[in-house]
Structure 1
């Protein structure tokens, strides 16, 4: 039976590719896309989500719910220097509009409707998830699994030396979520798993480009700005932790090594705000976090998905 999913996203580049997995993998039953302030301007993120639905052949097929446009207490921090507009200037042709229901209300409702079965994959800042926790105490117990793309086991960040972007943008929200008591939480981190298992270098991008499908052309163009930024930053290709997060929600056999941790979020550090502290020595370790994944198999999966005509 397909897994009922909600993907909470700040749609740009890899978020778009993560949505393609949720839309096209037969093991996924994508019930909603919920939008949260993150990578690029909010309205652009919404356009990117609708464009991805079109590219996947699902225009109007999944409701898009608008959520938090700002973090809980801090000003929004953009990643447009990394992603550009998030899709390489591509534009949708349809005129579908967002659902009337707020993203937080949709999260609470869907968790109740699929109590004990719904998986929420949060690949942006955790603002919407924190607001859902505050809105309905039953939300935490209704969600079967929460998969978070965020944080860093080894203390290396991608927006500051200590902080990964999604947690850095709204550390207060991350703190609320990680303290909430979800039964199953998996965190797909920047370091080590993203940097070791999800990098697509020039040979892999060339393989995708050679597919010549609508999906592969969309990928290459939407990915270009991120690829260029990552390479200039010393990474040997573009990074795809959002896509991995959705895939692991459907099939965790890609995980080669995983630890259990208590995770705390630094809220006040002058140089470390948004840093995550992964404690493997704590008595209670509610968060699972991959330390290694099968990167070659992950790439093959993405390439084969993008070969779909």
Structure 2
């Protein structure tokens, strides 16, 4: 069912938000973290890492690099799952670079000794117990850590306020296979578990939604040339991916034409300011696990075939003026 978003569901821009962020830190994850750090109404309790866009050591290092850039190394970072539940990893190094951040050398990058000793899944469970009903969990990578958390503690999702996911698709369009979006395809079993076992309020920013709310390349060029340390950083780490995202082949793959798509930033923006979400499709969802051509595809149950009580909000509308303001604040 397509509907506007009620105030009760989306909250308000000014309300304080406690975020726990789970990432496979590539370029758009980095941008999303910077967006959260720049938001005055947000407290980031911790950042948990999962293998995905690049290997887990790189993910951890990349998060530390972003935190150092933003002078926020006080935010704890936790090492999580290195492989998918079935251990069949894929990566996106062709797009994000082998290191996940465009293969830009950084001799001053913080060392992995700064990573917390506590495992990411244990940290997630602990935070949820310490702040019951208060945490919005934002997941911008494969959902392996989230699946492990609910398997270890079935009460974990009940302790969350809400869950925001970047992943999946709503029209059978993929970016890794014909119908597979990267985050869900990287660990379909984990996505299946999360979408079936997390009964908290859940918002999903899909691949097609992200593409339909892309930003113009003219805007992008101005954004990365604002002359700040943070905009310079974004300009450097995105340079590798631009050879693909601005190529004729990639532009044809983008839903509804060319433009700059920072997928993870949409889920983060929704978590920061619920009023950014203007329309949703409220329905049950699941993930295909066994199809020869459709493994990892998210399925929207618009006719109640699954008979699932819990419904999610698949985001289908975005206040672009507010979104742009959050994007620009991240690099000031």
Q: TM-score, normalised by structure 2?
A: 0.88
| Aligned mate of 1:228, from 212, 233, 243 | 243
Aligned to 2:322: 297
2:212 to 192, 196, 212: 196
* Residue 249 (str. 1) matches residue 303 (str. 2): no
Match of 1:205 in 2: 220
> Unaligned regions of 5+ residues in structure 2, if any?
1-14
Work out which of the residue numbers 65, 70, 73 in structure 2 matches 1:56: 70
CA RMSD of aligned residues (A): 1.5
Counterpart Cα distance in 2 of 1:93 and 1:291: 38
**Following superposition of structure 1 onto structure 2, how do residues 255-294 of structure 1 map, counting pairs within 5 Å?**
255-282=277-304, 284=309, 286-294=311-319
- Tell me the residue number matched to 1:144: 161
**Whole-angstrom CA distance in 1 between matches of 2:207 and 2:260:** 13
Q: What is the aligned partner in structure 1 of residue 152 from structure 2?
A: 135
Q: Per-residue CA shift, 1:58-80, capped at 9, x if unaligned? A: 12x11110000000014110100
1:306 lines up with 2:319 in the alignment: no
List structure 1 runs of 4+ shifted beyond 6 angstroms. Answer: none
Q: Distance in 1 between matches of 2:190 and 2:198?
A: 14
Structure 1 unaligned runs (5+)? none
Confirm or deny: 8 A CA contact 1:196 1:292 kept in the other structure.
Answer: no
- Which is bigger in relative contact order (C-alpha 8 A, separation at least 6)? 2
The equivalent residue for 2:81 is: 68
- 1:186 Cα deviation after fit: 0.6
How far apart, in 2, do the equivalents of 1:227 and 1:285 lie? 39
Q: Deviations over 1:270-303 (max 9, x none)?
A: 1111001112222645110111212343123212
Question: 9-18 or 87-96, which moves further after superposition?
Answer: 87-96
Q: Is the 8 A contact 1:258 1:290 kept in 2?
A: yes
1:119: which partner in 2? 136
